[in-house]
Each structure stands twice: as structure tokens, then as C-alpha cells.
Amino acid sequence: AQSVTQLGSHVSVSEGALVLLRCNYSSSVPPYLFWYVQYPNQGLQLLLKYTSAATLVKGINGFEAEFKKSETSFHLTKPSAHMSDAAEYFCAVSSTEGTYKYIFGTGTRLKVLA
Amino acid sequence: ETGVTQSPTHLIKTRGQQVTLRCSSQSGHNTVSWYQQALGQGPQFIFQYYREEENGRGNFPPRFSGLQFPNYSSELNVNALELDDSALYLCASGETGTGFVGYTFGSGTRLTVV
């Protein structure tokens, strides 16, 4: 069975500050991991993905994440927050075979303060 | 690539009615999945179709059913609507198998059951 835990349902940072959104996973098989962003009343946009290549993954809009197997983590970071980063962020895990269905975390709402 | 499009964008139905939501997947994608996202929660996997056959189902009752068509379109049908079915319904498509790089999501259909 797979599961995802996102610590912190709400995170606030100042504009220009480091963004760190936490994601821990549980999986009995090697996982694929994803971060998606959701703006109000919209669908999910893929930020980045780990599909068993490089453990440090760079995505769109300056975001990156590092897959740490020993810590079962896939935290999302961005060196400098921008006002446009304010949104809901979801971490998801899938298996590397079979249905590839996603198990999502409960989400983290990022607020960027001016 | 034309992305994933869903229709309608919003829908209001009465408890006990039936509803059909539609999705047009990205051309070439062999898999379409449907997710339910209740307010303030992460998306929950409903079911998935691979080459027009259901190949995975989440913890949803049989009154949730679907179809995938050869022209990359798909449907989600919900019978005997309940108030708790009010949610954002997301369609996602992807090319599963070796080289899986994640799903592309549509903007969703907001269903309100009154």
C-alpha cells in the first residue's frame, strides 16, 4: 500500500524567502513521485516528477525537489518566493507498474506575504 | 498536443438524479483516470481506463461508472446522486508503461448536488 503525508496544511513565507513544502511517502515498491500545483478553481499542473532517474529534480517556475530514499521524503523547495507562487500544492505517489494510479497528500496551501 | 479538456465546467444537480461528465484526453494517451476532489481535500482516485478497459478502481460505489472511447474521449457517470457527491471531478490522461512521465489533468468539472 502507498500513502503520502504532507506536513503543514498551511505555510506562509515572505516574498523573496525560501519555500519548503514537505512530503513524506510510504510505499512497499519503488515509487514514482510528483508535485502538482493548483490555483483556485483550476485543475492540477505538474511542477516536477521523480521517475527513478536523478534524485534531484528540477521543475517549472524555479521549483526543485530531492528524492531521499533513506528518509522517504520528496520535499519541494524554491530559493525565492514570488507572489504568484501562492496556491495549493499536492504531492502524489504512484507505483512504477500496474495502474500507475496516484495517491495524493492532503495538500499544502502556500501564502506569500508582501 | 491539445491537453485535456473537460465539460461542463460547472453543474448543479438534484439529489437522486444522474449525471454524465465528459473528458477529451490528450491524443496518443492510452490511459484516462478520474479523481474526485472534495473541498479542502486532495484528489481521490475513482477509477482508470487503459485502452478502453477498466483496469483499476478506488473505494467508490458501483453507482460511479465510466467509459473510454477509441477517440480519446471518456465519460464519468454517477447515478442516484447524493449530497456528498458535490466535488470537483478531475480527468487525467497519460501514457502508462515504460517511460511513464505522469498524468496531465484537465481543469475539472465542479458538481454541486442540492
Closest chain B CA to residue A104: B42
For the stretch B52-77, pLDDT in tens is 999 999 999 999 999 999 988 999 99
Alpha helices, DSSP H only, in A1-114? none
All residues of chain B having their beta carbon less than 8 Å from the beta carbon of residue A102 are 33, 35, 43, 45, 92, 103
For the stretch A3-30, pLDDT in tens is 999 999 999 999 999 999 999 999 888 8
What percentage of residues in chain B have a pLDDT greater than 70?
Answer: 98
Rg of chain A on CA atoms, in Å: 14
Q: Do B90 and A90 touch (CB under 8 A)?
A: no
Confidence of residue B96 (pLDDT cuts 50, 70, 90): confident
* Residue B88: closest CA among B30, B8, B31: B8
A73 Cβ contact list (under 8 Å, min separation 6): A22, A23, A24, A25, A66, A67
- As a residue count, chain A comes to 114
pLDDT for the residue numbered B2: 62
> Which residue in the block uniquely carries the three cell numbers 533513506?
A70
For the stretch A39-74, pLDDT in tens is 988 889 999 999 877 889 999 999 999 999 999 999
Q: Do B102 and A44 touch (CB under 8 A)?
A: no
For the stretch B82-94, pLDDT in tens is 999 999 999 999 9
* Residue B94: closest CA among A32, A112, A57: A32
